[in-house]
Structure 1
Amino acid sequence: MTKKLNVESFNLDHTIVKAPFVRLAGVKEGQNGDVIHKYDVRFKQPNKEHMEMPALHSLEHLMAENIRNHCDKIVDVSPMGCQTGFYVTVINHDNYDEILDILEKTLNDVLAAEEVPACNEVQCGWAASHSLEGAKELAQQMIAKRSEWTEIF
């Protein structure tokens, strides 16, 4: 038996999940009653495939900017270091089905994008590492499997 670690995803058996999926990865309640929900939005099968950095980076910019047009409860959109997905964090919003719809709308925004927001040296820490075409390809692949997002294992 492996020792339980502090990071929720380190306790997830990555060999049995089936990407793509959207999984509630954690819930935290703050001292004032606010509730944070963290979702694991997995684009690629762990340890089998990954997103290339320029595409992942552009997808991060596009998702982070556009998701807020569909929900004012977004706290953050963060890429996973393993390059297989993102964490989407929301505050005081616990409707899983609505999160799926928000993600789908956001990915459709990616497909319609003509440029990557904040893709310059003033607004981005590695502006040379972007691919709008790659981000669109990742979004299209994820949308194509929309019916599978709730099947985690």
Structure 2
Amino acid sequence: MTKRSNVESFELDHRLVAAPYVRVAGRQDLGDGTEIIKYDLRFCQPNEEHLDMPTVHSIEHMMANFMRNYTDKLIGFAPMGCQTGFYAITNGLEQDELIEVLTKSLGDILTATEVPAANVTQCGWGANHSLEGAQAAVRDYLAHKDEWLEVMR
């Protein structure tokens, strides 16, 4: 029996999910019309596959940049340490809106010719990027868009 955790993702049985998916991982009402909604954007099946770190890094840079072209509700976009996906932290961006922004932003990655801020001036590890890896991972993720809302096996 595992001890209960105060970390939402630690309470998710990773053996039962079916990646790729888009999942609301948490909501927090801060009052005054501010609701933080955290999304689990899972690209890879947990404990079976993962993204290479240069791919993760490049997707993180591009999504943090491109998503803000379509919404002012993005607070942050961050990789999961397990390298199977990302978290999008938003202010009141509902799932249907998130999927629209996500789809457009992923499309921008497919047409990108470079990774934004992939240099030693703007990034802590500017050499650790792969545009090609990011584009391949995004192509695969988008190919399964019709399955994104089916989280559990």
**TM-score normalised by the chain length of structure 1:** 0.96
Instruction: Name 1:97's counterpart in structure 2.
Output: 96
Provide the C-alpha distance between the structure 1 equivalents of 2:95 and 2:129, rounded to a whole number of angstroms. 30
Instruction: Name 1:148's counterpart in structure 2.
Output: 147
Provide the C-alpha distance between the structure 2 equivalents of 1:67 and 1:115, rounded to a whole number of angstroms. 16
Provide the C-alpha distance between the structure 2 equivalents of 1:110 and 1:142, rounded to a whole number of angstroms. 12
* Deviation of the 1:33 alpha carbon: 4.2
Residue identity opposite 2:34 in structure 1: D
* Deviation of the 1:32 alpha carbon: 3.9
The 3-state SS of whatever aligns with 2:60 is helix
Instruction: Name 1:49's counterpart in structure 2.
Output: 49
Instruction: Name 1:86's counterpart in structure 2.
Output: 86
The 3-state SS of whatever aligns with 1:137 is helix
* Deviation of the 1:21 alpha carbon: 0.2
Residue identity opposite 1:60 in structure 2: E
* Deviation of the 1:29 alpha carbon: 1.5
Q: 1:1-153 to 2 correspondence within 5 Å?
A: 1-93=1-93, 95-153=94-152
Provide the C-alpha distance between the structure 1 equivalents of 2:26 and 2:104, rounded to a whole number of angstroms. 23
**TM-score normalised by the chain length of structure 2:** 0.96
Provide the C-alpha distance between the structure 1 equivalents of 2:114 and 2:127, rounded to a whole number of angstroms. 14
The 3-state SS of whatever aligns with 1:142 is helix
Return closer, same or farther for 1:33/1:4 CA change in 2, 3 Å cut-off. farther
> Any stretches of 5+ residues in structure 2 without a counterpart?
none
The 3-state SS of whatever aligns with 2:107 is helix
> Any stretches of 5+ residues in structure 1 without a counterpart?
none
Q: CA RMSD in A?
A: 1.0
Return closer, same or farther for 1:101/1:33 CA change in 2, 3 Å cut-off. closer
- Bigger shift: residues 24-33 or 34-43: 24-33
Count of residues paired in the alignment: 152
* Deviation of the 1:31 alpha carbon: 4.8
Provide the C-alpha distance between the structure 1 equivalents of 2:120 and 2:31, rounded to a whole number of angstroms. 38
Provide the C-alpha distance between the structure 1 equivalents of 2:31 and 2:38, rounded to a whole number of angstroms. 17
Provide the C-alpha distance between the structure 1 equivalents of 2:126 and 2:43, rounded to a whole number of angstroms. 23
Provide the C-alpha distance between the structure 1 equivalents of 2:105 and 2:31, rounded to a whole number of angstroms. 31
